[in-house]
């Protein structure tokens, strides 16, 4: 279990660091912006999770090796893009890898704290998507999790599986990682959407408009 935990943490950190730095480069940020966006994407989800479940956010500074790993991944993206750009032109793959790894890692962390099932599911969602939300906001984009694409649902399903007892063996965690990653990429490829509903104030009556404005 310890090996699986460390591997998932490593994979998620590298994937989200690269995802954030790619987004920054697409928005033509300078080198400082690339590193900042890469780091907050890699660690933002874990910080949000820790705050909401009562763990110390200062735990981040106990993982110097992960900070160095994230910095190296960002440097590879920034200084030698030919190593990866010819094979992977979209950051969405790295985002999907980070989502899968961190959703499982966050759920495992909450489960180890003996938190109830809803908390485990929420920890998976926040750890898997929190860094991406911060990335998109800093990159001046609509957060991916709030678009019509299926995104956070896969993290929540991973958390549900962990909360129900799946993942006690290392191979189960790797299998769950593959399932979440596969579902995320399938939702991108086939353009799967969650239901959405638009609200146009111009279509409602005057009494309703006045009530909304007064509210």
77 to 9, 70, 84, 136: CA distances (angstroms): 19, 11, 8, 18
Tokens standing for 120?
């485990």
**Taking every pair of C-alpha atoms in the chain, what is the biggest distance, in angstroms?**
62
Count how many domains the chain has: 1
53 to 2, 13, 57: CA distances (angstroms): 21, 20, 10
The pLDDT profile of the chain, 215 residues, written as one tens digit per residue, is: 567 778 888 988 998 998 899 889 889 999 999 999 999 999 998 888 888 877 777 777 777 899 999 999 999 989 987 766 655 555 678 888 889 999 998 999 899 889 999 999 999 999 999 988 898 888 888 887 877 668 889 999 999 999 999 987 888 999 999 999 999 999 888 888 888 777 665 565 555 555 545 55
φ, ψ of residue 151 in degrees (nearest 5): -140, -70
Q: What is the pLDDT of residue 207?
A: 59
Residues 148 and 165: their CA atoms lie apart, in Å, by 30
Residues 16 and 138: their CA atoms lie apart, in Å, by 14
Residues 24 and 143: their CA atoms lie apart, in Å, by 14
Q: What is the pTM of this model?
A: 0.81
What is the domain extent for residue 153? 2-214
Q: What is the pLDDT of residue 194?
A: 82
């Amino acid at each position: 279990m310890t090996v699986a935990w460390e591997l998932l943490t490593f994979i998620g950190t590298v994937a989200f660091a690269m995802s954030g730095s790619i987004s920054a480069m697409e928005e033509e940020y300078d080198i400082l912006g690339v590193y900042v966006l890469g780091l907050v994407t890699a660690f933002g989800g874990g910080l949000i999770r820790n705050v909401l479940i009562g763990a110390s956010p200062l735990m981040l500074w106990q993982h110097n090796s992960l900070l160095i790993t994230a910095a190296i991944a960002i440097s590879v993206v920034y200084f030698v893009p030919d190593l990866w750009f010819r094979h992977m032109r979209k950051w969405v793959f790295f985002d999907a890898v980070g989502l899968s790894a961190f959703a499982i890692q966050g759920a495992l962390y909450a489960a180890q704290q003996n938190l109830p099932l809803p908390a485990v599911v929420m920890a998976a969602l926040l750890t898997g998507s929190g860094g991406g939300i911060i990335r998109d906001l800093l990159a001046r984009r609509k957060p991916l999790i709030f678009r019509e694409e299926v995104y956070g649902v896969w993290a929540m399903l991973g958390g549900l599986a962990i909360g129900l007892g799946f993942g006690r063996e290392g191979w189960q965690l790797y299998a769950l990682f593959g399932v979440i990653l596969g579902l995320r990429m399938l939702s991108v490829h086939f353009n799967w959407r969650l239901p959405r509903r638009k609200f146009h104030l111009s279509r409602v009556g005057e009494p309703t408009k006045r009530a909304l404005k007064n509210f």
